[in-house]
């Protein structure tokens, strides 16, 4: 499913575009487990370095954490918000176009009111074009936190954010969404082979265990690859994961800032889905819930 390619030890003989006999290309993904600060300009420098490394190892996709544009562990709100044509997304577009590496990254957008913002994830292709935006549906009102005091949720019936690379389709959710299997299943129903989950997963008792367990569960129940990318630093768990469709952890990072790269092979994914056709065998569908009063 995934062959780990450490960014400091990529074999020269490995082709950048590995294609099977049926034309399904493997996709090389770099996990950018960055430590994100309040300082937006400093974060852009870190993102630029991550792009440079992803390009050096021939990656097709760079995945960055939730709130990559700016983060405050006490809470992120309107003071961190930038429009889609602001410095953060413009910088992502420039770096993607320069390096030929697509990117999925968390940011904060202005809300519909001055006292609200939107927790969002953007996806840009290798030309730097914006593919789409996912606005976080499940706000983190749990474990003593209340994102809804500062943020507004995305629409539950919004079209899924999908990014096609090589022989695979990547579907996007973020952080707390990982606790809701319906979010992942909606993406898989829309055609996702790989679930990409940028996060700033808060630390605390059992939280790292929940993160790992939930990532494996979403992979197993959907026979999908899961790329779960967390922030490093104080107050968050780090420990980014790449999980195969059989639930095996192919790549796991520490708590420190780190870049790691792996290849995802569509042939292995197809083999798991053939042996375990649980998606074809299921008898229920997922639909958005009615708004709560």
Catalytic residues: 66, 136, 175
Tokens of 246: 């059989």
Q: What is the DSSP string of 178-243?
A: GG-HHHHHHHHHTT-SEEEEEE--B-STTHHHHHHHHHHHHHHHHT-EEEEEEPBSTTB----EEE
Q: What stretch of H or E contains 12? A: none
Cβ(129)–Cβ(163) under 8 Å? no
Q: How far apart are CA 226 and CA 224, in angstroms?
A: 6
């Amino acid at each position: 499913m995934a062959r780990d390619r450490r960014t400091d030890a990529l074999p020269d003989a490995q082709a950048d575009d590995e294609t099977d006999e049926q034309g399904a290309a493997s996709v090389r993904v770099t996990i950018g487990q960055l430590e994100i600060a309040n300082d937006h300009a400093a974060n852009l420098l870190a993102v630029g370095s991550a792009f440079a490394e992803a390009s050096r190892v021939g990656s097709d996709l760079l995945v960055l954490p939730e709130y990559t544009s700016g983060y405050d562990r006490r809470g992120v709100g309107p003071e961190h918000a930038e429009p889609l044509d602001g410095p953060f997304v413009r910088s992502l577009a420039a770096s993607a176009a320069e390096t030929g590496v697509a990117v999925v990254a968390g940011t904060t957008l202005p809300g519909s009111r001055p006292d609200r913002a939107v927790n969002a994830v953007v996806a840009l292709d290798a030309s730097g074009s914006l593919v789409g935006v996912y606005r976080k549906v499940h706000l983190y009102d749990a474990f003593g936190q209340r994102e809804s005091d500062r943020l507004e949720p995305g629409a539950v019936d919004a079209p899924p954010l999908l990014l096609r690379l090589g022989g695979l389709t990547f579907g996007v959710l973020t952080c707390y969404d990982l606790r809701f299997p319906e979010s992942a299943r909606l993406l898989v129903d829309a055609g996702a082979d790989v679930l990409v989950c940028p996060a700033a997963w808060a630390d605390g008792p059992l939280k790292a265990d929940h993160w790992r367990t939930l990532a494996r569960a979403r992979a197993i129940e959907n026979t999908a690859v899961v790329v779960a990318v967390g922030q490093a630093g104080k107050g968050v768990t780090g420990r980014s994961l790449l999980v195969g469709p059989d639930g095996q952890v192919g790549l796991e990072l520490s708590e420190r800032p780190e870049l790691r790269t792996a290849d995802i092979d569509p042939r292995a994914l197809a083999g798991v889905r053939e042996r375990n056709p649980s998606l074809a065998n299921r008898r229920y569908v997922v639909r958005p819930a009615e708004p709560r009063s």
